[in-house]
Structure 1
Amino acid sequence: MSSTDFAPPATPTISGKRSFPSARAVAALILREMATGYGRSPGGYIWAILEPVGGIVMLSLAFSAIMRAPALGISFPMFYATGMMPFLMYTDLQGKIASALNFSKPLLAYPTVTFIDAILGRFILEVMTKLLVSYIVFGGIMILYDTRVTLDFPKIFESFALAAFLGLGLGTLMCYVFTRFPLFQKAWGIATKPLFIISCIFFLYQTIPEPYQGYLWYNPLVHIVGLMREGFYPTYDATYVSYTYVLSISGISLTLGLLLLKRFHADILTR
């Protein structure tokens, strides 16, 4: 009898890293984010609603004092809400994902949690939150005011989808850049401050004279806001909207960000 007959059974080995993020890890990160992000202070989710409502009210009061009617429709709150809600979808999502690695850094030491889990957890929670807040804001305006809008749900969802994809793409790329080069975060914050002014939230793209109109076209948020307004105002024809342009920026940013994080995330976490 050979000695191999008494050899212990071979222990199964894992042939490579998992290809997809763990649903349990993502769910746990979502619950952690809910507890720390929105549950830390009383009325956390109420503030998520009051933030856009406050901005819409201030814009409505300011511009109704100097204008008889908004650039579209008859309701100032609805006009500004159609610009602000997709804008907030992008900005809040991009900011949350950009800080995902730093926020979940202690948990990423565990082999069952990856940087993709951290990004997906924040992405799913933030998209769900912003969609719920948008539903409440738009629904409340339509109940309280005579808006005379006609909802085109496919275009509304397309606008939110593009805003979410843009936030995911640029957020993932900035997630690498911010953790690798912390000083760039301040520079990015300064550079993106004017976005609120140049994203057609309180004016229409067609009202801007050349050559500035041509410059604004390269802001992807202009396309997203224009598509949202097409979803509420059937007479508004946003022919300048380019799905290809927004998807290209989002897709390139996401691919580059994932490649850089896959290559360097281990080095970043050890800093």
Structure 2
Amino acid sequence: MSFKAEGLHARNFKTWRTVIALMLREMATSYGRSPGGYLWAILEPVGGLAVMTIAFSMAFRSPALGNNFPLFYATGFLPFMMYMDVSNKISNSITFSRQLLFYPSVTYLDAIIARLLLNGLTQLLVFYMLMYGLLTIFDTGNILNYAAILNALGMALVLAFGVGVMNCFLLTRFPIWQRVWSIITRPLFIISTIFFILESIPQPFRDYLALNPLVHVVGEMRRGFYATYDATWVNPAFVYGVGLVLATLGLIFLARYHREILNR
């Protein structure tokens, strides 16, 4: 029994050592080679928020919630960006680490976990820094609901993980899926309620938009920043369910076909 426990402990240690090595490799290749490195992870959303704030503040007197344009758009744009960045990075896990996956000590699951941890932590840090900066600079006086904020972040990451794992299989198994997926997701930026709130949309289109899990993520995030916004329509179970189902199916398919994918 003790030998089994020791073997399991050694295998777990080996797995985490591999994951950390993959994270360090990605940090060096993705951020270490470009001028500014991690600074661009912050400047990119800052630039996006600045453009949206300038454009919409000229067209409207006030945002749909509160009276601060940067904060309103940040509560929609940052969770959306977190989902997009993490899901895209996970979906390219096998492609990014293909050469390393031929080593017996490195598995496709190690590559997926490494990208989830590194890019998830990066996006969480960017979210914290930008939100802290906005609340400090503008002194909006918002009463924060930390439980709702953390729930929204969890929803975004679980959904990103599920979509990323499923796409990790589909993109490597069926290369044409890259084009199909880009067409399907092109309207996401517009229909994820970044620029408006769901309540402003008339029926039956409101119910159609609610089928987009990102709408629930954004709604929950705004419930966390605006005390007067209850967003009773938000359904976390729906978002977590979609993410976990996609993750389960993706892992099942990868377990079945990963060797064929690597040997192509």
TM-score by length of 1: 0.92
**Does residue 64 of the first structure (1) align with residue 57 of the second (2)?**
yes
C-alpha separation between the residues in 1 aligned to 2:62 and 2:237? 33
Match among 146, 158, 166 for residue 151 of structure 2: 158
**Does residue 43 of the first structure (1) align with residue 36 of the second (2)?**
yes
Q: Deviations 1:47-91 (Å, cap 9, x if unpaired)?
A: 110111111111111111011111111110000000011101111
AA in 2 matched with 1:200: T
C-alpha separation between the residues in 1 aligned to 2:188 and 2:14? 33
C-alpha separation between the residues in 2 aligned to 1:41 and 1:32? 14
C-alpha separation between the residues in 2 aligned to 1:226 and 1:161? 13
Residue 216 of structure 1 corresponds to 209
C-alpha separation between the residues in 2 aligned to 1:182 and 1:39? 29
CA offset at residue 146 of structure 1? 3.4
Q: What's the RMSD between the two structures over aligned residues? A: 1.4
C-alpha separation between the residues in 1 aligned to 2:25 and 2:244? 28
Residue 3 of structure 2 corresponds to none
Change (3 A) 1:57 1:258: same
Q: Deviations 1:198-235 (Å, cap 9, x if unpaired)?
A: 00001000000111101001000000000000110010
1:26-37 correspondence runs (5 A): 26-37=19-30
Residue 267 of structure 1 corresponds to 260
SS in 2 for 1:202: coil
CA offset at residue 148 of structure 1? 2.6
C-alpha separation between the residues in 1 aligned to 2:181 and 2:71? 30
**Does residue 88 of the first structure (1) align with residue 69 of the second (2)?**
no
C-alpha separation between the residues in 2 aligned to 1:254 and 1:69? 39
Residue 237 of structure 1 corresponds to 230
C-alpha separation between the residues in 2 aligned to 1:222 and 1:100? 26
Match among 65, 75, 100 for residue 68 of structure 2: 75
AA in 2 matched with 1:96: K
AA in 2 matched with 1:97: I
Q: Deviations 1:117-140 (Å, cap 9, x if unpaired)?
A: 000000000111001111111111
Match among 194, 197, 202 for residue 190 of structure 2: 197
Q: Is the 8 A contact 1:73 1:148 kept in 2?
A: no
Q: Deviations 1:162-198 (Å, cap 9, x if unpaired)?
A: 1000000010000000000111111101210110000
1:60-209 correspondence runs (5 A): 60-209=53-202
SS in 2 for 1:42: coil
AA in 1 matched with 2:257: F
CA offset at residue 241 of structure 1? 0.5
C-alpha separation between the residues in 2 aligned to 1:190 and 1:95? 15
Segment of structure 1 superposing worse, 87-96 or 147-156: 147-156
Segment of structure 1 superposing worse, 39-48 or 90-99: 39-48
Residue 254 of structure 1 corresponds to 247
Q: Deviations 1:74-118 (Å, cap 9, x if unpaired)?
A: 110000000011101111111000000010000000111100100
Residue 4 of structure 2 corresponds to none
Identity, % of aligned positions: 51
AA in 2 matched with 1:247: Y
Q: Which runs of 4+ in 1 moved over 6 A?
A: none
Q: Is the 8 A contact 1:89 1:130 kept in 2?
A: yes
Q: Is the 8 A contact 1:21 1:114 kept in 2?
A: no
